[in-house]
Structure 1
Amino acid sequence: MENAAAAGRFAPTALMLGNVVTGCSVLAPAGMLPELASGLDISIRTAGLLITFGAITLCIGSPLTAWLTSRIERRTLLTATLAVLALGNIASALAPDYTSLLVIRLVMLAVGALYTPQAAGTAALIVPAEKRGSTIAYVFLGWSLAAAVGLPLITFIASRYGWRAAYAEVGVLGCLSFVLLALRLPAGLKGTPVDLKTWADVGRSRIIVLLLAITMLQMSGQFVVFTFMGPLLKTLTDAGPDAIGLVFGLYGLCGFLGVAIATRIVDTWGPYKTSVLFTSLLLTGVAGWALTSGNFAAMAAAVAIWGLGFASTNSMQQVRLVTAAPALAPATVSLNTSVLYIGQAVGSAIGGALFGRELPHASGFVAAGFVAVALAIVVLTRPRAAVQV
């Protein structure tokens, strides 16, 4: 009985570490675009399509897999998903060419689309209602750690030992996370089944539709720059691999700090006020990148401010969706993840087009425009009832 209680107590941490693996799997190409381009004899823009096509797969796969797997016991579902991510990254390390790498990535992410929304929904099942917001935010710390530690490490390893070694690193991490989740997540957890009526109810909710629009705009803006952050820093400031890795680390470290602060204040402030704060920080950072373009120190400082908002804003989106309609949470959380990946696809495609046309300075201003519209919609969703969402 004591062992079972201990397992349940550490379950949120196990779920969070699974998000580290998921985040690294999704973001990995961004940390090694030059190495992928030179190693596979392709352009940097073509290497960036690994992110664009991967995001398209994720945005389709997230709601589809939520519907197809909603009746499966959560520990079985989540551990199987981590196993696929681990094996997919190991297979990526062995890919003979770009086409093979792209196919492996798309298959891996089609299944990996399950993890983040299902982890958030599972977190809501294992804690009391009053702890739900902070626990979901904690689980999303995994994405911050992926950016704070995983992405700089990927950049470091790829620049010294090649992109294959970087993929192998993520694969090993996936194997470890799989074991931890299997040991710590309680068995027998099942969420509310998702059916066609659930999707219809989601579509009729004005607040949910607006919240989903916020997520898409926030992510579109960020990925205009983030997908090509390394090459952009090289082009604009002549930064080397170590300096680029430092900026990625700063981004992720501040993301970790932002989510930690959001986790602390959300239960007191409410998710709306917390969302306004961190979306404002996000806009300040992205606008700062655009306005200081060419100055490495100033751009790094802007990335730090941007980092405070990047993961915390998405965590607040998840919390607001769960709070707005708890019964619809399995569908809304998966849809939020889906539109997040739509945003990644849109942003990385626009960023690739701008990079390919040698317009690096324009990227920041386009990114800031997307985030400014997102903040405006956040303000429009100010709750009028006593309960904040």
Structure 2
Amino acid sequence: MTSSQIPHRFAPTALMLGNIVTGCSVMAPAGMLPELASGFGIGVHTAGLLITFGAVLLCICSPLSAWLTSRFDRRLLLTATLLVLTLGNLASAFAPDYASLLTVRLLMLAVGALYTPQAAGMAALISPVDKRGSTMAYVFLGWSLAAAVGLPLITFIASHSGWWAAYLAVGAAGAVSFGLLTWRLPSGLKGAPVDLKTWTELGRNRMVLLLLLVTTLQMSGQFVIFTFMGPLLNKLTGADANQIGLVFAIYGACGFLGVVIATRIVDGWGAYRASLLFTCLLFAGITVWTAGAGVYSMMAVAVAIWGLGFASANSMQQVRLVAAAPPLASASVSLNTSVLYIGQAIGSAIGGGLFARDLLGATGYVAVAFVMLALLAILASRPRAPVAALA
């Protein structure tokens, strides 16, 4: 490694902050569906398609971009992606109609699909092998903070100043993150080239396929509810914008706590046991949400339990994928990001269909079924022989 490739201090923090902006860019509509629907004169279900269509595009572009850009400098890729996300959010604030907003969002996310898998690959490159799990979990802390801080702020700003102001705020955060990445990331780092042989090898790896299935099921179950969490709370409990923002804050704060716990236990426990723990928390939280539907306090407690698992479970998936096929980590992480967005698309589409038909209570039962299947898939992925701690 040359002097230009020596990792700068706080590089993992710069990567984590980029994930905050990426997470806010992806999840922002979930925090302001009523304002978007009212502002453009459309239904809440139609506004929710911003998430569904965005997720479909992300799932396609994530592995495609990993293939097309595998030989590029990681620093250049990550900073360019943050610049596009910044400009996309700023442009969204001035969208004159729903069609324009959707178009800008799809263009923005087509490039934004690069960030999360490339950030994971960069984290793996700049961290010692024995600290790779905790470093990657720390980088993915950005998604927890996007939910803990970003979504409540988006909900607050949108309800008090308008949806356009929320987009401006995310764009401003993107500009700051772009500057930090440019300043702190080392240059000259590249991952292993991704070609057709890479995808073929991944397709023959039973563990990789099982882990991708786990991610799909986990995300499908969560996004049946999460996409419409605000409107569901309003319809089922009469919660106002501030109460909904509080629930988003609880969700994200507990997600933050969960990732902190994950970073401390994964190197000792191993990612399999940690993954099982956090998916059990997902299952418990969504089960309590379903049982307590209509009671605000019960649903808030459910979100706290669920929140402990949501980001940590995905972080453990990333760590397990890297350990399952280290030479193919860049491609497997991008595939995991892809199926993560497939899960979002499946879940939000099912949730939107149920919401449009006023089958609000059914959303919880469908979510529980998906996460139960995810638990069974994790059990099937249990390592068959002693392996390294990260397996």
CA RMSD between the two structures = 1.1
TM-superposition CA deviations, 1:247-279 (whole Å, max 9, x none): 000000000000110010000000000001000
Residue type of the alignment partner of 2:381:
T
The 8 Å contact of residues 8 and 126 in structure 1, kept in 2 or not, is answered as no
- 2:83 maps to 83
> Deviation of residue 10 (structure 1)?
0.4
- 1:40 maps to 40
- 1:178 maps to 178
Please give the alpha-carbon distance, in whole angstroms, between the structure 2 residues aligned to 1:330 and 1:42: 40
- 2:19 maps to 19
> Deviation of residue 139 (structure 1)?
0.2
Please give the alpha-carbon distance, in whole angstroms, between the structure 1 residues aligned to 2:93 and 2:196: 39
Please give the alpha-carbon distance, in whole angstroms, between the structure 2 residues aligned to 1:370 and 1:151: 24
* 1:159-238 equivalence runs, <5 A: 159-238=159-238
The 8 Å contact of residues 7 and 183 in structure 1, kept in 2 or not, is answered as no
- 1:331 maps to 331
Gaps in structure 2 of 5+ consecutive residues: none
Residue type of the alignment partner of 1:310:
F
- 2:307 maps to 307
* Structure 1 residue 152 corresponds to structure 2 residue 152: yes
> Deviation of residue 384 (structure 1)?
1.3
3-state SS of paired residue (1:9): coil
3-state SS of paired residue (1:8): coil
The 8 Å contact of residues 148 and 249 in structure 1, kept in 2 or not, is answered as yes
- 1:259 maps to 259
TM-superposition CA deviations, 1:283-327 (whole Å, max 9, x none): 000111001100000100000000000000000000000011100
Residue type of the alignment partner of 1:327:
P
Residue type of the alignment partner of 1:297:
S
Residue type of the alignment partner of 1:188:
G
The 8 Å contact of residues 133 and 266 in structure 2, kept in 1 or not, is answered as yes
> Deviation of residue 7 (structure 1)?
6.3
> Deviation of residue 176 (structure 1)?
0.3
Residue type of the alignment partner of 1:301:
V
> Deviation of residue 4 (structure 1)?
7.7
Residue type of the alignment partner of 1:13:
T
Please give the alpha-carbon distance, in whole angstroms, between the structure 1 residues aligned to 2:341 and 2:315: 15
- 1:347 maps to 347
Please give the alpha-carbon distance, in whole angstroms, between the structure 2 residues aligned to 1:176 and 1:39: 28
Please give the alpha-carbon distance, in whole angstroms, between the structure 2 residues aligned to 1:355 and 1:35: 17
> Deviation of residue 6 (structure 1)?
9.6
The 8 Å contact of residues 354 and 360 in structure 1, kept in 2 or not, is answered as yes
* 1:268-307 equivalence runs, <5 A: 268-307=268-307
Moved over 3 A (4+): 3-7
Residue type of the alignment partner of 2:269:
W
Please give the alpha-carbon distance, in whole angstroms, between the structure 1 residues aligned to 2:106 and 2:338: 15
- 2:243 maps to 243
Please give the alpha-carbon distance, in whole angstroms, between the structure 1 residues aligned to 2:331 and 2:191: 10
- 1:319 maps to 319
The 8 Å contact of residues 293 and 361 in structure 1, kept in 2 or not, is answered as yes
The 8 Å contact of residues 148 and 251 in structure 2, kept in 1 or not, is answered as yes
Gaps in structure 1 of 5+ consecutive residues: none
The 8 Å contact of residues 5 and 188 in structure 2, kept in 1 or not, is answered as no
Please give the alpha-carbon distance, in whole angstroms, between the structure 2 residues aligned to 1:350 and 1:18: 30
Count of equivalent residues = 387
> Deviation of residue 380 (structure 1)?
1.0
Please give the alpha-carbon distance, in whole angstroms, between the structure 2 residues aligned to 1:372 and 1:25: 29
TM-superposition CA deviations, 1:206-247 (whole Å, max 9, x none): 110000000000000000000000000000000000000000
Please give the alpha-carbon distance, in whole angstroms, between the structure 1 residues aligned to 2:166 and 2:276: 36
TM-superposition CA deviations, 1:346-373 (whole Å, max 9, x none): 0000000000000111101100100000
- 2:121 maps to 121
Please give the alpha-carbon distance, in whole angstroms, between the structure 2 residues aligned to 1:183 and 1:31: 31
> Deviation of residue 5 (structure 1)?
9.9
Please give the alpha-carbon distance, in whole angstroms, between the structure 2 residues aligned to 1:382 and 1:103: 42
TM-superposition CA deviations, 1:99-139 (whole Å, max 9, x none): 00000000000000000000000000001111101000000
- 1:111 maps to 111
TM-score normalised by length of structure 1? 0.98
> Deviation of residue 8 (structure 1)?
1.6
3-state SS of paired residue (1:108): helix
Please give the alpha-carbon distance, in whole angstroms, between the structure 2 residues aligned to 1:152 and 1:5: 38
TM-score normalised by length of structure 2? 0.98
Please give the alpha-carbon distance, in whole angstroms, between the structure 1 residues aligned to 2:354 and 2:203: 34
Please give the alpha-carbon distance, in whole angstroms, between the structure 2 residues aligned to 1:382 and 1:216: 18
- 1:101 maps to 101
3-state SS of paired residue (2:189): coil
> Deviation of residue 9 (structure 1)?
2.2
Please give the alpha-carbon distance, in whole angstroms, between the structure 2 residues aligned to 1:123 and 1:193: 17
The 8 Å contact of residues 5 and 189 in structure 2, kept in 1 or not, is answered as no
The 8 Å contact of residues 73 and 189 in structure 1, kept in 2 or not, is answered as yes
The 8 Å contact of residues 52 and 345 in structure 1, kept in 2 or not, is answered as yes
Residue type of the alignment partner of 2:249:
G
The 8 Å contact of residues 6 and 186 in structure 2, kept in 1 or not, is answered as no
Please give the alpha-carbon distance, in whole angstroms, between the structure 2 residues aligned to 1:336 and 1:98: 30
3-state SS of paired residue (2:8): helix
